[in-house]
Amino acid sequence: MDEELPDPANNGSIIRAFPDAPVGSREAKVLLFSNAASQTERAHGTVRASCDDGASWPIAREFRAGAMAYSTLATLPDGKVGLAYEPGHNGIVFATFNLAWLKGMCTGIEPAQQLTIERGSRAASSIRLTNQWGPVQKIGAVRVEAPQGWTVSVGQVGKLLPGRSTTLPLDVQVPASVKGGSYRLPVVVTDRSGRTATGSVTVVVPRIPSEVPGRIEVTGGTLTNPRSTYRVGDRLDFRYRVSNLLDAPTTVTPQGNLRGLDPAVDAQNCRWRGLAAGAQYTCSSAHHVVTQEDLDRGSFTPITTWTSVSGEDTTVVEHRAEAVSLG
């Protein structure tokens, strides 16, 4: 998976910018890619360019900030590039552009390694910049964007000759209050005319046990339609609140001794696919129909299990709600 090409599981398009270029030439290695550049929504339509046959994607420009679904690219006889895309799901827009419109430069950005830094600590590394195409790149600034509270410093360079590389020192300090997880820090190289190249450095802050991806909180199990007396066949309705506690989307699937809960049992259920980071949802379809066995026992207790799957990580929360007295 190329982390430089975020996508919400949507259609994208990739072409060669110079389809007739001789195999192995520098022109033949220029690729163009369009998609919705988001992991959570079909939005942020973006065109990217690679100058090394897809090994890196230093050039990017957004063509639509709002909703954007499918897109496709094609080279045109006049040398321009055609872009057809859906602005949402209610039409098709066709536009053309040339490579200069991208306002980018072919600068490879290669971190020395992924950094693992404990909370409240710092680490030193380096970033290698390569002029992949030419001409001479007159660099105005190199910056690394980091979350608030982090301290990052990176070396600077005045110019890059065609085909040449330089290595810049990098120092990253992580605050003690940061949450564990993987952080992608954008690296932006800008030349003196305003053209840019982008890449990233990945910093991993080790998680503590309570920060396992997909960790959720389940509250409630509250009876919403209490009554003074109960008979066989009465319906007990329950409400639950499920919260995603971390910074990654997750899919929540419940099971238990209730109907309207488990997707393997009922079409109307309390499963939630792709619950966004920090988001919550309410399950209000869970219910139980009173039986004679419940009346003989004098109560009914909702017992549920909620399985959260985020990437390769799975967590399970068991929930036992307050017993409902049926006497």
Dump pLDDT digits (tens) for 244-300. Answer: 987 789 999 999 999 999 999 999 999 999 999 889 999 999 999 999 999 999 999
Where are the domains positioned within the chain?
12-102, 107-205, 216-325
Q: Is 8 exposed, middle or buried (0-12, 13-18, 19+ CB in 10 A)?
A: middle
pLDDT tens digit sequence for 72-115: 999 999 999 999 999 987 899 999 999 999 999 999 999 998 99
What pTM was computed for the model? 0.67
Name the fold adopted by 107-205: Immunoglobulin-like (2.60.40)
- pLDDT beyond 90 at 311: no
Please tell me the predicted confidence (pLDDT) of residue 248: 85
Single-letter amino acid, residue 216: I
> pLDDT tens digit string along 225-235?
999 999 999 99
How far is Cα 324 from Cα 240, in angstroms, rounded to an integer? 15
Residue 213 has pLDDT above 70, yes or no: no
> Which pLDDT value is given to residue 212?
63
pLDDT digits (tens, 9 = 90+) for 180-194: 888 999 999 999 999
Residue 106 is encoded by which pair of tokens? 């072919």
Do 107-205 and 216-325 come out as alike in CATH topology?
Answer: yes
**Which element (helix H / strand E) includes 297?**
helix 292-297
Q: Cα dihedral sign for 13, 92, 40, 45?
A: positive
**What superfamily in CATH does domain 216-325 come from?**
Immunoglobulins (2.60.40.10)
